[in-house]
């Protein structure tokens, strides 16, 4: 499948929630037991994706299917997946910039499941993810825009130059303006790089609020944290912000949308970094 083809929708309705009493693995009351059940499933999904990526056989559809399998693993291990606002995503003229908070590894695994059936997509990611021993080949297969997250000025130049080109070619971009994965949300850490890209490229922005700390960030290995302390996995897409909207206005609208969702889900919200505790990891 190439970037111009569209697979059938993994979630055909405008919203989705895990059915009550679905297929769950037994005896998963403790986070440690959930991790023992979850990580082997994820390892197998990523291993197969890695093998296909190395052979050049891991396209958009395969990536979307891997994301669907990952969400199904979440459900089998006791998580509840809720997706809303897919109609907003589908109504937005392609391509778009999706601007989202960044909480865990999970979203980079599964967002293709929601976006690719509508619009070919890739990410703006930290450059170290492309050289990761295990995940690197999979991430490189997405042909993302890589940034350092140590030099904001150069990162902005990179995103504007490469992002405009990818959008002009019809590829939507997912941007996580936070410089790291965080359980809480800090307004001052949420930069305007995605809004500036959308203004430069003349495309719409679709805001996305997510809660993905079912897959926690690890202390020593960021991708291997506790599993299932929060059982709710949520993705909420908001109404598109039209192309041509000034970046300041777009940034304010995205932050307002996140403010409507994240605190209601119990996610800590603070204006400055000094007001919030930990919960961060490399992202």
Question: Helix, strand, or coil here: 24?
Answer: coil
DSSP string, 140-196: HHT--EEE-SS-HHHHHHHHHHHHHHHHHTT-EEEE--SSSEESSEEGGG--SHHHH
Quick one: pLDDT at residue 26?
54
Give the residue from 117, 113, 112, 118 showing the smallest Cα distance to 144. 112
The C-alpha atoms of residue 105 and residue 73 are separated, in whole angstroms, by: 14
Q: What domains appear along the chain, each with residue ranges and CATH number?
A: 28-272 (3.40.1130)
Per-residue pLDDT of the chain (283 residues), as tens digits, is 333 344 578 888 899 999 886 556 554 556 577 888 899 999 999 999 999 999 999 999 999 999 999 999 999 988 999 999 999 999 999 899 999 999 998 999 999 999 998 889 999 988 888 988 888 999 999 999 999 878 888 999 999 999 999 999 999 999 999 878 888 999 999 999 999 999 999 999 999 999 999 987 767 666 777 887 788 999 999 999 999 999 999 999 999 999 999 999 999 999 887 654 433 333 4
Under DSSP, is residue 102 helix (H, G, I), strand (E, B) or coil? coil
Q: Say what the pLDDT of residue 169 is.
A: 95
How many residues are given for the chain?
Answer: 283
């Amino acid at each position: 499948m190439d970037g111009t083809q569209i697979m059938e929708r993994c979630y055909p309705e405008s919203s989705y929630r895990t059915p009550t009493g679905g297929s769950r693995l037994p005896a998963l009351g403790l986070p440690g037991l959930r991790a023992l059940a979850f990580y082997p499933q994820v390892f197998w999904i990523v291993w197969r994706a890695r093998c296909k990526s190395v052979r050049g056989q891991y396209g958009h559809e395969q990536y979307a299917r891997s994301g669907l399998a990952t969400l199904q693993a979440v459900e089998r291990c006791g998580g509840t997946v809720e997706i809303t606002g897919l109609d907003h995503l589908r109504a937005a003229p392609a391509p778009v910039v999706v601007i989202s908070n960044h909480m865990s590894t999970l979203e980079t695994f599964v967002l293709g499941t929601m976006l690719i059936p509508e619009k070919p997509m890739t990410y703006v990611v930290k450059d170290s993810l492309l050289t990761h021993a295990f995940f690197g080949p999979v991430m490189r297969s997405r042909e993302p825009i890589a940034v350092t997250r140590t030099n904001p000025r150069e990162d902005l130049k990179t995103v504007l130059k490469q992002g405009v080109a990818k959008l002009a070619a019809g590829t939507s971009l997912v941007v996580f303006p936070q410089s790291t994965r965080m359980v809480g949300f800090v307004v001052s850490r949420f930069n305007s790089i995605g809004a500036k890209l959308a203004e430069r490229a003349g495309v719409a922005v679709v805001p996305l609020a997510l809660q993905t700390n079912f897959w926690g960030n690890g202390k020593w290995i960021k991708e291997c944290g506790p599993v299932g302390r929060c059982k709710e996995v949520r993705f909420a897409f908001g109404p598109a912000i039209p192309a041509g909207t000034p970046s300041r206005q777009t940034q304010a609208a995205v932050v307002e949308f996140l403010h409507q969702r994240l605190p209601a889900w119990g996610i800590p919200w603070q204006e400055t970094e000094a007001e919030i505790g930990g919960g961060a990891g490399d992202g």
